[in-house]
Amino acid sequence: MLALFFLTSNFKRTEASMAFFVLYSLLSAVFLYSVFITLRKRHRLRLPPGPKPWPIIGNLPDMGPMPHQGLAAMAKVYGPLMHLRLGFVDVVVAASASVAAQFLKVHDSNFSSRPPNAGAKYVAYNYQDLVFAPYGKRWRLLRKICSVHLFSGKALDDFRHVRQEEIKVLVRGLASAKTKVDLGQLLNVCNVNALGRVMMGQRVFGDGDRRAAEFKSMVVELMELAGVFNVGDFIPALEWADLQGVQGKMKILHKRFDRLLSGILEEHKIKGEGDGKVEQTDLLSRLISLEDLDADADAGKLTDTEIKALLLVLFSSSSSSFTIVEWAMAELIRHPKIMAQVRQELDSIVGQDRLVSESDLPTLTYFQAVIKETFRLHPSTPLSLPRIASDSCEINGCHIPKGATLLVNVWAIARDPNEWNDPLEFRPERFLPGGERPNADIKGNDFEVIPFGAGRRICAGMSLGLRMVQLLTATLVHGFDWELGDGLLAEKLNMEEAPGLTLHRVAPLMVLPRVRLSKHAY
């Protein structure tokens, strides 16, 4: 249009305007040529196979309400390495152990950051949390703080008594139950209170506290919203429109979380000032102390916002522990022979005069296989949190463009018939000697089953989560018989998955506990 103006205007063309016209034409030609070369080069580079995208929206309609299931179905057609276009964003999906290893082991450093997304922007304090913070000095600082003060072997051992005491509270409540209970709800309270005592030196919820149900609903809503493929993340020009209403809900939810976390933080500061000093006996006190010190000469000091973002991640991630325990109990109720074998092992090692302790867990061989099988079939995060390619690279002969979003379908990998015999069956024996994966490690080293992810961005709270899942599940199996009631047969128990970032059950596990140990054990 500018060139047309110069050619048709009746204004006198000065020497300066002619020079500008020539310069503009030259730059336009260079730009068009560079675009042509880029497109031609891109055409020559072989992208991974995948479904043909729709105009503008790309493959967003193909994702379905349960993206991990939809992508698993697509992988059967296009293979374990797929390319999709979600809006204007290149997305690559890994749906096999070998492909996941290429991304998370061989090219891990290239996929260590997160792509922009509404959840991190509107809920997680604009990328200031541990999960979505860009890979760099600030992220390493947050990771180091959690690793040293909360998730190290020493920290976990130091707070072992807290976990044992909170599980004892849960057990006593179950022992006195006269009607069916929502097991997931009670597990959530136990998890949050154990984490609260470690982080803040106090329980978050009291017995029968109605805020516990509200908090659980907030966490579930957060996971549901985080699991939505938000159109605005993939078509930036439409972000303002919030077509799905996701961003508006996230903003409201953020305010609710922020009120809770701000109150916790301020109460802790006032308590410390009242005592004349902040006793560094819990994580929050240590975090507050880092606001006044140079925690890292290069990374700088912590801020209130970063502390609240860290608390948000830790509290919300606790939901993954109670969901795994809920899935484990549902599977054991559906498989009474496996339940009986676990109990036989527990009775032989622990006896019936006391509850299970953490020191018992390593000796429970069959029980450990049950936990691994639960993580295989019901990974807490079925579709890994997205990563972004810092630079273009090549995977299995295919071009992965710079800026592409990576999704690892953990759920599909763990159900791959090329890796697992009868992959849809709940069979703990596959992790025992003589099984197909007797030495399988679920901590990110064996890519056939990676419920916590792998590489630099592996779940920071993996060690704590594993301990809580193991101790809770062992205690529930050992301490109680379980009835479904209402004439419901165990084999008819609803095992449907609910949509969301984490793998919740679509129907809560409602059960009636019956004590089975000596009275003084409770």
Which residue ranges form the domains of the chain, and what is each CATH number? 65-521 (1.10.630.10)
Mean pLDDT of all residues in 148-174: 90
CA atoms of 378 and 18, how far apart (whole Å): 69
Considering only 19-23, 32-36, 400-404, 485-489, which range has the smallest mean pLDDT? 19-23
Percent of the chain whose predicted confidence (pLDDT) is above 90 = 53
Nearest to 124 by CA among 306, 320, 388, 385: 306
How far is 260 from 288, CA to CA, in rounded Å? 17
**Nearest-10 Cα torsion for 99, 100, 106, 108:** 140
Burial class (CB in 10 A: 0-12, 13-18, 19+), 19: exposed
Looking at residue 26, its pLDDT comes to: 45
Of the candidates 177, 202, 191, the residue with the CA atom closest to the CA atom of residue 468: 191
The pLDDT tens digits for 264-302 are 888 888 876 655 554 456 778 878 877 665 544 444 577
In this predicted model, what pLDDT tens digit does every residue of 456-470 receive, in sequence order? Answer: 999 988 999 999 999
Question: Which of 388 and 142 is assigned the larger pLDDT?
Answer: 388
Q: What is the pLDDT of residue 349?
A: 97
Cβ partners under 8 Å of residue 114, min gap 6: 120, 127, 131, 132, 133, 134, 135, 385, 386, 387, 388
Is residue 203 very low, low, confident or very high in pLDDT (cuts 50, 70, 90)? confident
Question: Model confidence over 64-123: pLDDT tens digits?
Answer: 889 999 999 999 999 999 999 999 999 999 999 999 999 999 999 999 999 998 888 888
Res 206 pLDDT > 80: no
At 120 the pLDDT is 87
Q: What is the pLDDT of residue 9?
A: 37
Three-point CA angle 157, 160, 166, nearest 5°:
165
34 pLDDT above the threshold of 60: no
**Structure tokens belonging to residue 440:** 């399988």
- Count CB neighbours of 296 within 10 A: 16
DSSP 452: T
- Residue ranges of alpha helices (H) inside 79-131 are 97-101, 118-122
Q: How confident is the model at residue 237 (pLDDT cuts 50, 70, 90)?
A: confident
pLDDT, tens digit, 9 for 90 and up, residues 418-465: 999 999 999 999 999 999 999 899 999 999 999 999 999 999 889 999
Residue 485: left if φ>0, alpha if ψ -120 to 50, beta else—which one? left
Average pLDDT over residues 151-160: 89
Please, are residues 384 and 372 in contact by the beta-carbon 8 Å criterion?
A: no
Predicted confidence (pLDDT) at residue 341 exceeds the cutoff of 50: yes
Model confidence at 205, pLDDT cuts 50, 70, 90, reads confident
What's the mean pLDDT when you consider all of the chain?
A: 85
Within 8 A by CB and 6+ apart from 272, the residues are 278, 279, 285, 288
- 3-class DSSP state for residue 86? strand
Least trusted range by pLDDT, from 31-35, 43-47, 109-113, 174-178: 31-35
C-alpha span between 120 and 102 (Å, rounded): 26
Angle of helix 137-149 versus helix 304-334 axis, rounded to 10: 60
Q: What tens digit of pLDDT does each residue of 368-392 get?
A: 999 999 999 999 999 999 999 999 9
pLDDT (tens digit, 9 = 90+) per residue, 220-233?
788 788 778 888 88
Q: Is the pLDDT of residue 39 over 80?
A: no
Bridge-partner residues for 345, per DSSP? none
Q: Using the predicted structure, report yes or no on whether residue 3 has a pLDDT greater than 50.
A: no
pLDDT at residue number 293 = 52
Q: What is the pLDDT of residue 361?
A: 96
Long-range Cβ contacts of 337-340 (<8 Å, 24+ apart): 338/370, 338/426, 338/428, 339/477
Q: Which helix (H) or strand (E) holds 393?
A: strand 393-395
**In the prediction, which pLDDT does 474 show?**
98
Number of other residues whose CB lies within 10 A of the CB of residue 77: 10
C-alpha radius of gyration, the chain, whole number = 26
Residue 367 has pLDDT above 90, yes or no: yes
For residue 291, the model assigns a pLDDT of 67
Residue 29 has pLDDT above 80, yes or no: no
Which amino acid, one-letter code, is at 284?
A: L
pLDDT at 390: 96
CB 110 within 8 A of CB 391: yes
Count CB atoms within 10 A of the CB of residue 40.
9
Task: Work out whether strand 405-408 and strand 89-94 pair parallel, antiparallel, or are unpaired.
Answer: parallel
Confidence check: pLDDT of 18 > 90: no
Residue 15 has pLDDT above 80, yes or no: no
